[in-house]
Amino acid sequence: FGAGPEILVGAGEAGWGRGLRFGVCFYLPLPILTKEGVCGTRYSEVGVRILVTGANGMLGRDLVPALAAAGHEATGATRAAFDVTDRDETLRAIGEAAPDLVVHAAAYTRVDEAEREPERAFAVNHGGTRNVADACGARGAKLVYVSTDYVFDGTARAPYTETDPTNPHSVY
């Protein structure tokens, strides 16, 4: 991730020189979170209360301190804090945290094991994401979802966009 002036969030092919690979990428300059807002919402200059799910994962471990260093009230939530597959627990935890913004980075990321445990992978990546989205809706929080390029078939000749059709070749 590095200590650059921007944070990669989103889903997408690329990483553009950062060694990251996600589905559709977009960059949010750190100031946009305080001055311009996310998804059309303007936030105050004092920072944004941000909850990052999957805080023990590769992205979460980098994102929480980077957001905090940018002046935001960043909190990381691990599976020990709440299991995203448990709807009631997710609604409770996000409600209690009262974030302005949730970066949903929790995921079942073991590609090969997902083929052997498709129900578990689906429960986390689909059901867990639905639970987080519902909790954000109930709270009125904005949601940034981080996905993977594995939802695409890899045949595109240009970076994928948010509107490209998906065609996954695996459960993951």
- Confirm if 83 and 124 have CB atoms less than 8 A apart: no
Q: Which residues contact 160 (CB under 8 A, 6 or more apart)?
A: 12, 13, 23, 24, 149, 152
Per DSSP, which regions of the chain are E strands? 6-10, 25-29, 49-53, 73-77, 101-104, 142-145
Determine whether 27 is an active site residue: no
- Give just the sign of the alpha carbon dihedral 110, 112, 116, 121: positive
- Give just the sign of the alpha carbon dihedral 90, 83, 107, 98: positive
Q: At 10, list the tokens.
A: 């989103």
3-class SS letters over 37-73: CECCECCCCCCCEEEEECCCCHHHHHHHHHHHHCCCE
Which of 43, 108, 145, 172 is flagged as catalytic?
A: 172
Of 28, 40, 39, residue with least CA distance to 70: 28
Catalytic residue ranges? 172
